[in-house]
Amino acid sequence: MQSPKKKKGFLKIILLLCILALVLAGCAGGGRMGRKKGKPEVSPANAGQAQSAEVEKNGGKKIAYLTFSPPEQVRWVENDDPALRNSGVAEWMVEGSSAESTPARVMYQKLMPVQDASTLKAQILKPLAGCPDSKVQDLQLGSKYRDQLGFQATCSKLGTQDYGLIDYVAIFSDGVANHVMLAEVKTPPSNKVGVLDSKSAEVQKQAQTSKNFADMLSKVIRSVRVCNEQELCI
């Protein structure tokens, strides 16, 4: 298993942010996936009047955990890498794949202290600078939680890697922490987003597989719901 610092994709910046957050205030995350529902479990934040005041500023809607619906067409397993879990990240991969080879993944992380979601978005998008071509667009999420931000980021080819990426990202903030969900799909590498460099049968097959996963994971990110400590989810 690779260490968090060596993980590929847009979550690399989130992992680095979590390490910083651990130094400043601590971060926690985890999860388990049932056959139909995934429920990343968040360790309670340190209790305190300051945090209570921050939650009140956000309408009292403190986030206890998130839920999402994984696509049933694919069997998923949770990455049990201790280094990953110790960094506060929960990751689900396609069964039979490794963290390096999985064609798609779903990841969750809780980041503390809370920061402005637009600032966090800008940090997450920094790796796009290493792509020959990229595209970012807003993403309409399915949750009715008030403080949320969703977007889709596409990289035609990630640095020196032999693949591109499509990332669907949801950020929910409650005044204490940012809760980040990411659904990621690998794509054939290219010089321009949406345009294949080769028309070979193999590349065409890879592109169709990527499209199938992209269709499924765009629905996953829209299925995310925010739950409070009374297990009421919106």
Residue 1's pLDDT is what? 38
Domain ranges of the chain: 4-227
CA neighbours within 13 Å on the CB side: how many for 15? 21
Q: Which residues of the chain have pLDDT under 50?
A: 1-59
Cβ atoms of 51 and 176 within 8 Å: the answer is yes
Q: Is 206 helix (H, G, I), strand (E, B) or coil?
A: helix
Among 157, 172, 83, 96, smallest CA distance to 127 is for: 157
Q: Is 54 helix (H, G, I), strand (E, B) or coil?
A: helix
CA distance 4 to 98: 14
Reading the block at residue 165, the tokens are: 């990426």
Residue 134's pLDDT is what? 97
Residue 233's pLDDT is what? 92
Cβ atoms of 143 and 150 within 8 Å: the answer is no
Residue 87's pLDDT is what? 83
Reading the block at residue 79, the tokens are: 């990455």
CA distance 48 to 18: 21
CA distance 219 to 152: 12
- Sequence-separated (6 or more) residues with CB below 8 Å from residue 175: 51, 54, 55, 56, 57, 58, 62, 114, 147
DSSP 3-state helix, strand, coil percentages of the chain (rounded to 5)? 30, 25, 45
Q: How many CB atoms lie within 10 A of CB 95?
A: 10
The CATH number for 4-227, chosen from 3.30.565.10, 1.10.10.10, 2.30.40.10, 3.40.1000.10, is 3.40.1000.10
Residue 19's pLDDT is what? 33
- Tell me the Cα Rg of the chain: 17
Residue 50's pLDDT is what? 37
Residue 84's pLDDT is what? 86
Residue given tokens 């690779």 in the structure block: 2
The gap from C-alpha 144 to its chain's centroid, in whole angstroms, comes to 19
The gap from C-alpha 204 to its chain's centroid, in whole angstroms, comes to 27
Q: pLDDT digits over 188-206, tens only? A: 999 999 999 988 999 999 9
